[in-house]
């Protein structure tokens, strides 16, 4: 900024005295750009015409292409003009495209105020990765927010399938004690199978749940995230206030801490529109307007047909689950929740497992494996080795020593299994550690250590001697003198 007096002097020297811009800047101690700005559009004309550019013949092609495809990258336009004979640099094309690219038309928005119990907004957010048996899995945050009261339900999930969505929707409905009349979603494939403009084909499993809860599913416009700004802000709020500088070790630990945060912090925050009231206060006003839940709640377990293979296992979600051997190579029905797996033959449940969220894991029940081994005696040794390694992981080092010594592994495994059955996992694991720490791999020594660790320690009984015994403490002597 310069004073009006100096600005007037600059204009006088330029227009009356015809001083060059550089001379004025030097004499008055201002920047050349200041002089040109004060002189204005009536200032000096460029001394020379713009230099011709190798891009000039191709500028009409670039402008015409940008009119049709305004978001096309400058590098793609560079490739197009090179094919037409352009020999300049990509930087020249990039600078020119930045000048002539059509600017997107700005869009006006209307502020929408929702009625109590009218709409909930649903979305997911990626919050990192978590270690599982056999590797890692992506950790996702499911969020539902009531558009009127801003009450939030959130939970951590490990997959984004439609069945995970249905489970989360059911738990969110029970958390709020009812449902709103609309559920607003984005456009993921778990929600919408096909969309052509306003014509939408929702996932049939989602429609089944919404029909039982009397909820209308709604979709945002394509590339219109502002239409569900409430849930977008809720996800940002949770990432900044809950997940920042927090390590999630397990799904159970993360969801427990998240539930505490929602009750103590999220519900206690100020409502953005109603001054002096918290989200919990406004939610109490909205709760009577929610639709009542059916009793009982709809079942949202995943049901699908599966085939048991020759090893009497079925494959589901990258893991294997055992079935009784009499059902191998037969068709079964799998019923899966996020915690349990059930396998049905008709209406009879033939196997039940806790669901494993790991990768490439084998989940088997001992009775299934015993029944399978009874039909395949030759497989018992291999299964025995696996039992031993599960009980004492360092036993593989003993197996290597026995194999190197030329011992019969079948016999050694069978004898070690007897130690496992007699003494248990804890004693055998500690005995193997002691044996290896001593640098030995003898099976007899292993059995002796197991016996020592399992044998209860006999307490020392106090012995009271009468006053007629003068020397109650007997000192030890060197026994070497007896040889003489």
What does pLDDT average to in each consecutive run of 10 residues of the chain (484 residues)? 86 87 89 86 57 89 91 93 92 92 74 87 95 92 96 95 95 96 91 85 93 93 78 95 92 95 95 93 95 93 94 93 92 94 94 93 86 68 74 86 82 88 89 90 90 76 72 70 67
What pLDDT, in 10s, does the model give residues 298-350?
Answer: 999 999 999 999 989 999 999 999 999 999 899 999 999 999 999 999 999 99
Give the per-residue pLDDT at 169.
96
Give the per-residue pLDDT at 459.
67
Give the predicted TM-score (pTM) of the model. Answer: 0.64
Question: b/e for 70-96, b at 16 or more Cβ within 10 A?
Answer: eeeebeebbebbeeeebeeeeeebeeb
47 to each of 30, 40, 51, how far by Cα in Å?
22, 16, 12
Distance CA 311, CA 295 (A): 41
Give the per-residue pLDDT at 82.
93
Burial of 443 (0-12, 13-18, 19+ CB in 10 A): middle
Give the per-residue pLDDT at 182.
95
Distance CA 83, CA 81 (A): 5
Structure tokens at 244: 């920042």
Per DSSP (E only), the strands in 101-205 are 119-132, 135-146, 152-157, 182-185, 192-196, 199-202
Distance CA 338, CA 335 (A): 10
What pLDDT, in 10s, does the model give residues 188-246?
Answer: 888 998 888 778 899 999 999 999 999 999 998 777 767 788 999 999 999 999 999 99
Give the per-residue pLDDT at 380.
52
Give the per-residue pLDDT at 109.
65
């Amino acid at each position: 900024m310069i004073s009006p007096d100096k600005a007037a002097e600059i204009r006088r020297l330029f227009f009356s005295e015809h001083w060059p811009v550089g001379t004025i800047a030097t004499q008055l101690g201002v920047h050349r750009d200041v002089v040109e700005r004060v002189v204005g559009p009536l200032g000096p004309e460029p001394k020379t015409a713009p230099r011709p550019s190798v891009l000039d013949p191709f500028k009409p092609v670039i402008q015409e292409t940008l009119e049709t495809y305004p978001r096309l990258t400058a590098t793609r336009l560079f490739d197009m003009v090179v094919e037409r004979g352009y020999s300049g640099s990509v930087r020249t094309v990039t600078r020119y495209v930045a000048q002539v690219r059509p600017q997107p038309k700005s869009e006006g928005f209307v502020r929408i105020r929702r009625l109590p119990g009218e709409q909930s907004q649903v979305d997911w957010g990626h919050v990192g990765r978590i270690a599982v048996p056999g590797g890692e899995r992506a950790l996702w945050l499911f969020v539902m927010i009531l558009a009127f009261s801003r009450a939030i339900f959130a939970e951590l999930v490990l997959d984004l399938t439609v069945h995970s969505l249905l489970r989360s929707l059911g738990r969110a409905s029970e958390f709020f004690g009812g449902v709103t009349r609309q559920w607003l979603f984005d456009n993921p494939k778990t929600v919408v199978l096909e969309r052509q403009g306003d014509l939408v084909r929702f996932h049939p499993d989602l429609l089944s749940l919404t029909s039982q809860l009397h909820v209308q599913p709604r979709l945002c416009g394509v590339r219109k995230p502002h239409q569900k700004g409430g849930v977008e802000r809720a996800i940002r709020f949770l990432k900044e206030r809950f997940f920042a500088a927090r390590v999630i070790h397990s799904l159970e630990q993360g969801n427990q801490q998240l539930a505490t945060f929602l009750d103590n912090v999220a519900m206690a925050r100020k409502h953005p529109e109603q001054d002096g009231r918290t989200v919990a206060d406004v939610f109490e006003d909205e709760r009577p307007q929610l639709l009542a839940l059916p009793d009982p709640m709809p079942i949202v377990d995943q049901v699908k047909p599966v085939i048991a293979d020759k090893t009497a296992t079925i494959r589901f979600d990258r893991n294997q689950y055992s079935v009784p051997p009499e059902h191998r190579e037969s068709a079964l029905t799998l019923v899966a929740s996020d915690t349990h797996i059930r396998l049905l033959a008709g209406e009879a449940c033939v196997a039940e497992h806790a669901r494993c969220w790991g990768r490439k894991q084998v989940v088997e029940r001992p009775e299934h494996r015993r029944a399978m081994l009874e039909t395949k005696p030759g497989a018992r040794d291999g299964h025995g080795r696996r039992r031993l390694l599960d009980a004492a992981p360092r036993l593989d080092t003993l197996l290597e020593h026995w194999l190197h010594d030329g011992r019969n592994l079948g016999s050694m495994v069978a004898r070690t299994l007897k130690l496992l059955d007699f003494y248990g996992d804890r004693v055998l694991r500690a005995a193997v550690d002691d044996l290896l720490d001593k640098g030995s791999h003898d099976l007899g020594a292993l059995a002796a250590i197991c016996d020592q660790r399992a044998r209860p320690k006999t307490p020392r009984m106090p012995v009271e001697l009468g006053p007629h015994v003068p020397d109650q403490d007997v000192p030890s002597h060197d026994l070497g003198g007896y040889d003489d």
